[in-house]
Structure 1
Amino acid sequence: MDIKKILSLLSLLLISYCCTSKENLKDETIRIIPLPNYYESRPGDFDISKNTTIGIETSDSNMVSLAQYFNEKLSRTIGFELPIKSSGEIIFELTEKPDLEQEGYHVSVTPDKVRIHANTHHGIFNGIQSLLQLIPINTSSKLDKNTLWKISCIEINDKPRFAWRGLMLDVSRHFFTKQEVKKYIDLMAEYKFNVFHWHLTDDQGWRIEIKSLPRLTDVGAWRAPRVGNWWEREPQSATDTLSYGGFYTQEDIRDVIEYARKRFITVVPEIDVPGHSMAFLTSYPQVSCTGGPFHINVGNTFYTKEENSLCAGKDKTYALLDSIFSEIASLFPSSYIHIGGDECYKGFWEKCPDCQKRMSIEKLQDTKQLQSYFIKRVASSIQRKGKKVIGWNEILEGGLAPETIVMSWQGVKGGIEAAQQGHHVIMTPFEHCYLDLYQGDPAVEPNTYSMLRLQDCYKFQVVPDSIDASFILGGQGNLWTESVPHYRQVEYMTWPRAMAISETLWNDTCSRNWKFFTQRVEKQFTYLDQLGVNYSRSLYDPIILPFMNSNNQLQIELKTEIEGLDIFYSFDNTIPDIYSNLYTGILSVPKNASMLKVVTYKGQQQMGKQINLTIDELKKRIVENNK
């Protein structure tokens, strides 16, 4: 048996051991997310003091940067940095272990030493994230340099299941500053994400400087200020002051890319075409079907009433896109460029002389094939620039462009179809990965649509049973920002749900344990409190499930996402607390009751938000759920 077969067999045995022995490996004190593939607690502790040193190969500039990064994060907890020398008690060292591959690592904590071994600097970086999560969280406002910080002894062997582990941030609907984007990337890295998908253009704004087409940001980056529910806003008018928006200069982009590079995160840009292009059309109406005039969308309804798709018939369209993607390709080191391709309304193409002429020349049967022609032509142009092309699953319509990668968001169907055609796939089904959805009861959450609880993210199965897993690059979570107007809300919608997605992309399915995961999430809350992150605590909120029984009487089931919570309720309009009615089973609504109020407690402490629903609202929910 050759060495490759032996290593493969050992890897399978390790996976089998992990899957069959996860309960034995479970350590209630560990808080690492994503959970390592293999870890074993050992007796004793390693003490970090002001005399502890970090030992690295000091001639390796990348290793020096890693030690400095570790020091920066460590000092946030313990209040001081450690000396960096050629030898020390905390050792970062490159090795040659084929089983660790590119991103794997080994952490060994003994009473005398802490060692991180990996084949690459990226592996060392991943090991640093786990090591940092082994250090007790400081809850004191006073930091003493004479304090000993204890790390429990442990052995960890770990590597990711998937190479693509991403989060997407939409900066078109609402603009977030360069500093806020960096903050987002920094926290991504701590949970071992390695791809930042940057949704830079859409109907509501163009956010990246294109030097050859300055109107894209001079015009396309600004719109009228509005508040209120998305899709219900008053459209922008010719007399509005266009003061809301912003864009990133190319120097800003380079700065963010370098910041991400130091955290081993690849920045993948998305320029969304041919649909979702109202900001583009407002800037350059000559690439439209109708000629305009156009106004950037402010959150008003428009889809079939106002044109938002580039003209697929005009050569001018492709010329401008070539200029755009030439600058994008030279600006971003990433091997990938995302071209969108989703939700393209084709009604204006059906009436456009240029589109109809193009269909005739190219012998295209319908506008779906015209979209395929558009995607293939743009993809070919980008591929000639040395980049790989990604598109949302709608690029399957009319025929898939060669060598394109499908990002499947409308469930996993598109991903299955693409994989069966021999294309690589990134799974991001909305029912597990759309972070713009409700994560708790709509009565107490910011207004949005549909539901994606933390447990829904944790149920994400990246590889469907029906396809070859080798075609699945990985997956990601997506934060669309129609209802996310500022960065604090970005944090609220992302965390902790992104922790669940991180773990599903890192570990094999058999390693999942919901109860253990939520225990670790709660430990992470203490850490996020220390950072001042505005995470969501919706997993503590009661879940209210009204239904009609066989006698057509309204009844209510109450649940919680996590164990260990008591649910208290009232029907008499009083505020429920630990002295109110304790939920023990299905509730029947008392005669003439007008309101249900529910809250959760752990011991004497209120954990979730109080939820108040009228009886009429409960009945309405039953009707809506039955539609």
Structure 2
Amino acid sequence: MKKLNVIIALILSSFIYSCQPSGPALEERGIIPIPSEVSSSNGTFELTSSSAIQLIGDQASLSPIANYFAAEVSQSTGFDIQVGETGDLVFELTGNNPSDESYQLEIGKDQVKILANSPAGIFYGVQTLLQAFPAEILSNEKKSVAWVAPTGTISDSPEYAYRGAMLDVARHFIGMEDVKHFIDQMAHLKLNYFHLHLTDDQGWRIEIKSWPRLTEVGGSTEVGGGESGYFTQADYQEIVNYAAERFITIVPEIDMPGHTNAALASYGELNPGINLPDGDLSTVNKPVHGSEIDFSSKMIIREPAELYTGTEVGFSTFDTDLELTYQFIDDVVRELSAITPGPYIHIGGDESHVTRKDDYIVFVEKVQDIVQKYGKTSIGWDEIATAKLLSGNIAQFWADEENAGLAVGQGNKILMSPAKKAYLDMQYDSTSRIGLHWAAYIELDSAYLWDPAKYASGITKSDIFGVEAPLWTETVENRTDIDYLVFPRLAALAEVAWSPANTRDWTSFQNRIRELGKSWDNQGVKFYRSPKVTW
């Protein structure tokens, strides 16, 4: 009889186990970026309507993360997950080191624990946990799915402290909701810096109250013509706060001294002037852009430039000898710094082809001083390294290895954004419906298969500040265009930025990106279905 009871118990246990929800192993859930260490076990955790979050540690820091998780899963599951004294989802701060972004995720059959030394680490653990559930977890509508995650343990930490993406809102203005959509997708990929390219020849997109015509005039149009727009300072602060809730820091860019036609169209007095020798006009070939020669006074009259809606660059420049130019920049940096909690202001500096080299160097050095005056650190495109950089300032490598080498030689760090690998506006191939290809065609495998620490001669890992993927918007007009060019390549570049080279594998990534594609489908992200992946 005893033997019979044992047999019945075993049969019953097997039946109960077979009725439990099951799914793929933790390694098969398609987690991107790939974690440092993954250890699977045999079992699943199920999120249910009775699930609750327990917070251990600083409640003020952890509560927003708990609310974020609950909001992310509420539409797909229909669950109203609350914070309680106990819970099957435990978020535990084990230390107090804001610079430590590592985390540990422990998924058991009855409880999930995320442990980290910082709120950022907890947040990144949450992103991994979301990817451990079925792809429908981030759906915008309720789904009838067993919300199970495979059991196991993940230990993880990022390779680079700066993991960024850039969105150009100047050439085509990208509105608030689409910017937030971009930020949401960045957060899921554990990116932590959002570079906003706010000004260019085609548009000025940030309100500067002391110079109101910048947006009234300079923000009125975009590539191709037609009405455009700009962000008020209140709008900008909303973006800053929205990003901060997702542990993303905003890096605003004011591109100068070139790429400045929108400013010159707003304030003609910033246009370059030429002092002419008395009675000798032979040295003047043609008027400076946006100015006219007054032959009676032998001077250039500064007039507003015409608004520009094309895509060619390199024709505009501030007057680098004019004191008013630096007062203007001081005002812009002062107002922008006051509403930017992050430590960085991007000063541009690229493709200033009509600025004389000596004048360019003087300009960059003066602007660096202005940025430092307001307590910020300058980042600039790699051309700024031809000037003397202040200690701690960053050169963003996009084109010229020699410039990047100049920055390293001065003891400054490099932000890696090589156009041939990281530029999201490049076409995938010659059939891509939008995009450019002056740098390269960049298919998904090309975006993935490179190592920042080995990409450029003379630049080693110790020289690298981080990795950033820029999206320029000459051909981008809306969210559909953004989704097409950005995804899936941003996921590849996020893994390059987060995961050590020795943990990355193209075959593994092909399998994992397929799972992430299912999540994008459920979120309504209109991504490019690269032929490099069997979707």
Pick one of 430, 440, 450 that aligns with 1:442: 430
Residue in 2 that maps onto 1:90: 89
Alignment of 1:226-305 (within 5 A): 226=224, 243-289=226-272, 290=291, 291-299=302-310, 301=312, 303-304=314-315
Distance 1:447 1:326, change over 3 A: closer
Distance 1:386 1:520, change over 3 A: same
Distance 1:143 1:279, change over 3 A: closer
Residue in 2 that maps onto 1:309: 317
Shift of 1:54: 1.3
Report the residue type matching 1:327 in the other structure: E
Shift of 1:226: 2.9
Residue in 2 that maps onto 1:404: 393
Shift of 1:198: 0.3
Pick one of 317, 325, 348 that aligns with 1:340: 348
Q: Is this contact kept in 1: 2:223–2:310, CA < 8 A?
A: no
Unaligned runs of 5+ in 1: 1-25, 228-242, 350-366, 541-560, 565-606, 608-627
Pick one of 215, 218, 221 that aligns with 2:219: 221
State the alpha-carbon separation in 1 of the partners of residues 54 and 222 from structure 2. Answer: 55
Distance 1:389 1:447, change over 3 A: closer
Q: Is this contact kept in 2: 1:412–1:427, CA < 8 A?
A: no
Shift of 1:208: 0.3
Residue in 1 that maps onto 2:525: 533
Q: Is this contact kept in 1: 2:257–2:317, CA < 8 A?
A: yes
Distance 1:279 1:225, change over 3 A: closer
Pick one of 441, 446, 453 that aligns with 2:443: 453
Q: Is this contact kept in 2: 1:118–1:124, CA < 8 A?
A: yes
Tell me the TM-score normalized by structure 1: 0.73
Report the residue type matching 1:94 in the other structure: L
1:81-103, CA deviations, whole angstroms, 9 ceiling, x for partnerless residues? 323202111100000398x9611
Distance 1:381 1:108, change over 3 A: same
State the alpha-carbon separation in 1 of the partners of residues 118 and 57 from structure 2. Answer: 16
Alignment of 1:405-484 (within 5 A): 405-410=394-399, 412-439=401-428, 441-449=429-437, 450-464=440-454, 466-484=458-476
State the alpha-carbon separation in 1 of the partners of residues 109 and 96 from structure 2. Answer: 24
1:513 maps onto 2:505 in alignment: yes
Report the residue type matching 2:441 in the other structure: M
Tell me the TM-score normalized by structure 2: 0.85
Residue in 2 that maps onto 1:240: none
Residue in 2 that maps onto 1:64: 63
Report the residue type matching 2:411 in the other structure: G
Q: Is this contact kept in 1: 2:258–2:318, CA < 8 A?
A: yes
1:559-610, CA deviations, whole angstroms, 9 ceiling, x for partnerless residues? xx34x6xxxxxxxxxxxxxxxxxxxxxxxxxxxxxxxxxxxxxxxxxx7xxx
SS at match of 1:259: helix
Q: Is this contact kept in 2: 1:412–1:429, CA < 8 A?
A: no
1:254-287, CA deviations, whole angstroms, 9 ceiling, x for partnerless residues? 1110111110000000000000000000001111
State the alpha-carbon separation in 1 of the partners of residues 140 and 476 from structure 2. Answer: 32
1:36 maps onto 2:35 in alignment: yes
Report the residue type matching 1:311 in the other structure: D
SS at match of 2:511: helix
Report the residue type matching 2:200 in the other structure: D
Residue in 2 that maps onto 1:586: none
State the alpha-carbon separation in 2 of the partners of residues 224 and 471 from structure 1. Answer: 37
Report the residue type matching 1:370 in the other structure: D
Shift of 1:492: 1.1
Distance 1:209 1:293, change over 3 A: closer
Residue in 2 that maps onto 1:486: 478
Residue in 2 that maps onto 1:389: 378
1:428-450, CA deviations, whole angstroms, 9 ceiling, x for partnerless residues? 100110000001x3234325223
State the alpha-carbon separation in 1 of the partners of residues 251 and 452 from structure 2. Answer: 20
Residue in 1 that maps onto 2:367: 378
Aligned CA RMSD, in angstroms, stands at 2.3
Residue in 2 that maps onto 1:174: 172
State the alpha-carbon separation in 2 of the partners of residues 455 and 339 from structure 1. Answer: 32
Say how many residue pairs are matched.
478
Alignment of 1:43-58 (within 5 A): 43-57=42-56
1:412-438, CA deviations, whole angstroms, 9 ceiling, x for partnerless residues? 443333123200111110011000000
Residue in 1 that maps onto 2:77: 78
State the alpha-carbon separation in 1 of the partners of residues 362 and 481 from structure 2. Answer: 39
State the alpha-carbon separation in 1 of the partners of residues 359 and 172 from structure 2. Answer: 31
Report the residue type matching 2:310 in the other structure: G
Unaligned runs of 5+ in 2: 1-24, 273-290, 292-301
State the alpha-carbon separation in 1 of the partners of residues 80 and 231 from structure 2. Answer: 34
Distance 1:213 1:528, change over 3 A: same
Shift of 1:293: 4.2
State the alpha-carbon separation in 2 of the partners of residues 257 and 131 from structure 1. Answer: 25
Shift of 1:495: 0.7
Distance 1:143 1:168, change over 3 A: closer
Q: Is this contact kept in 2: 1:195–1:266, CA < 8 A?
A: yes
State the alpha-carbon separation in 1 of the partners of residues 267 and 343 from structure 2. Answer: 28
SS at match of 1:56: strand
Alignment of 1:182-193 (within 5 A): 182-193=180-191
The worse-fitting range, judged by mean Cα deviation, of 59-68 and 247-256 is 59-68
State the alpha-carbon separation in 2 of the partners of residues 212 and 113 from structure 1. Answer: 55
Shift of 1:62: 2.4
Distance 1:412 1:217, change over 3 A: same
Shift of 1:402: 4.8
Q: Is this contact kept in 1: 2:171–2:222, CA < 8 A?
A: no
Shift of 1:46: 1.1
Structure 1 vs Structure 2: percent identity of aligned residues? Answer: 35
State the alpha-carbon separation in 2 of the partners of residues 302 and 476 from structure 1. Answer: 22
State the alpha-carbon separation in 2 of the partners of residues 259 and 525 from structure 1. Answer: 25
State the alpha-carbon separation in 1 of the partners of residues 311 and 166 from structure 2. Answer: 23
Q: Is this contact kept in 2: 1:285–1:292, CA < 8 A?
A: yes
Report the residue type matching 1:455 in the other structure: D
SS at match of 1:160: coil
Distance 1:143 1:335, change over 3 A: closer
State the alpha-carbon separation in 1 of the partners of residues 61 and 222 from structure 2. Answer: 46
The worse-fitting range, judged by mean Cα deviation, of 67-76 and 53-62 is 53-62
Distance 1:294 1:102, change over 3 A: same
